[in-house]
Amino acid sequence: MQIGDVIALVTGGASGLGEATVRALVGRGARATILDRPGSKGAELASELGERVAFAPADVTDAKAVQAAVNATVQRFGALNVLVNCAGVGVAARTTSREGPHPLDLFEKVIQINLVGTFNCIRLAAVQMAKQQPVWESERGVIVNTASVAAFDGQIGQAAYAASKGGVVGMTLPVARDLASLGIRVCTIAPGTFDTPMLGMAPENVRQALAAQIPFPSRLGRPAEFAALACHIVENGFLNAETIRLDGAIRMAPK
């Protein structure tokens, strides 16, 4: 699929990896809807990027709100052929500690947003994509999910986060198989340690220590690098059902 033909919905698109993806897509001629929480800077970013960008305030776990965002995208731009799932949360809590067991509600919240929210957006976007005429080589849509290297190398305190991202990895193949007959491809990116706003709040010595763990290049990943890979997945018609680590060769230590 050619980027210039793309009409995308990017969840978590108001900041971090999602914002970088919106900027990359629009910079190459695509149109995009930013789906992010009410109160995010989604409206501000859409205004900055111009008429080819819209903002749809929504929680990814809210089926009605996500459906409204899909509908708004089609009404504004005429179709929807790319979904990039970047919305997510991370928490740190051990399975058991001096304070007691891992709070169950916290575990459920992470699974609900990172895994259930991702699938919610996939299922609703796929229905819309399936209705449309193919735009390139019988292709109706491309879905790009965001997992994490924690899916494979979960650290101490990452039980909830690793489980949620492992779930995203685990559903990539079966969802791709489900949607293959409809001409919809599905891939997942598993980023390592990236320089996102959340990490930007960490002290500089912590950031440097994290960067030093990465074999090469020994620096934090740049959101633009994630966005470049997302764009490549959209353009490369033979990439399907694959999870791609984007991590500078890091393998996370226990802590």
Which two structure tokens, joined as six digits, stand for 252?
A: 């996370």
Nearest one of 175, 151, 196 to 83, comparing CA atoms? 175
Task: Check if the beta carbon of residue 155 is closer than 8 Å to that of residue 254.
Answer: yes
Is residue 238 in some structural domain?
Answer: yes
| pLDDT at res. 200 | 74
Kindly indicate the confidence band of residue 137, based on its pLDDT and cuts at 50, 70 and 90. confident
Mean model confidence pLDDT for the chain: 96
Distance (Å, whole) CA 26 – CA 39: 22
What phi, psi does 187 have (nearest 5°)? Answer: -135, 165
User: Taking the CA of residue 26 as centre, how many other CA atoms within 13 Å lie in the half-sphere pointing to its CB?
Assistant: 23
Residue 185: which domain range? 3-245
Distance (Å, whole) CA 28 – CA 165: 29
Kindly indicate the confidence band of residue 170, based on its pLDDT and cuts at 50, 70 and 90. very high
> How many angstroms from the chain centroid is the CA of residue 128?
19
Structural domain tally of the chain? 1
Is residue 254 in some structural domain?
Answer: no
Q: Which of 47-61, 94-108, 109-123, 187-201 has the lowest mean pLDDT?
A: 187-201
Distance (Å, whole) CA 44 – CA 55: 9
State the average pLDDT over residues 13-36: 98
Q: What is the pLDDT of residues 139-148, one digit of tens each?
A: 999 999 999 9
pTM over 0.85: yes
Q: Tell whether the model's pLDDT for residue 233 goes beyond 90.
A: yes
| pLDDT at res. 205 | 81
Kindly indicate the confidence band of residue 86, based on its pLDDT and cuts at 50, 70 and 90. very high
Scan for tokens 């009410």, then name that residue.
38
State the average pLDDT over residues 15-42: 97
Is residue 210 in some structural domain?
Answer: yes
State the average pLDDT over residues 23-27: 98
State the average pLDDT over residues 204-231: 93
Kindly indicate the confidence band of residue 16, based on its pLDDT and cuts at 50, 70 and 90. very high
State the average pLDDT over residues 228-252: 97
230 secondary structure, DSSP code: H
Kindly list the distances between the CA atom of residue 205 and the CA atoms of 72, 126, 200, 241, in Å, as whole numbers in the listed order: 44, 43, 12, 38
User: Which of the residues 55, 107, 161, 226 is marked catalytic?
Assistant: 161
Is residue 75 in some structural domain?
Answer: yes
Could you tell me the CATH number of the domain that includes residue 215?
A: 3.40.50.720
Is residue 252 in some structural domain?
Answer: no
Is residue 251 in some structural domain?
Answer: no
Does 161 qualify as catalytic in the annotation?
yes
Angle 164-113-8 from CA coordinates, rounded to 5°: 105
Q: Tell whether the model's pLDDT for residue 206 goes beyond 80.
A: no
Is residue 157 in some structural domain?
Answer: yes
Nearest one of 12, 154, 147 to 93, comparing CA atoms? 154
| pLDDT at res. 208 | 86
Distance (Å, whole) CA 218 – CA 208: 9
Of residues 202 and 214, which shows the higher confidence score?
214
Is residue 169 in some structural domain?
Answer: yes
| pLDDT at res. 203 | 77
Which two structure tokens, joined as six digits, stand for 193?
A: 């340690």
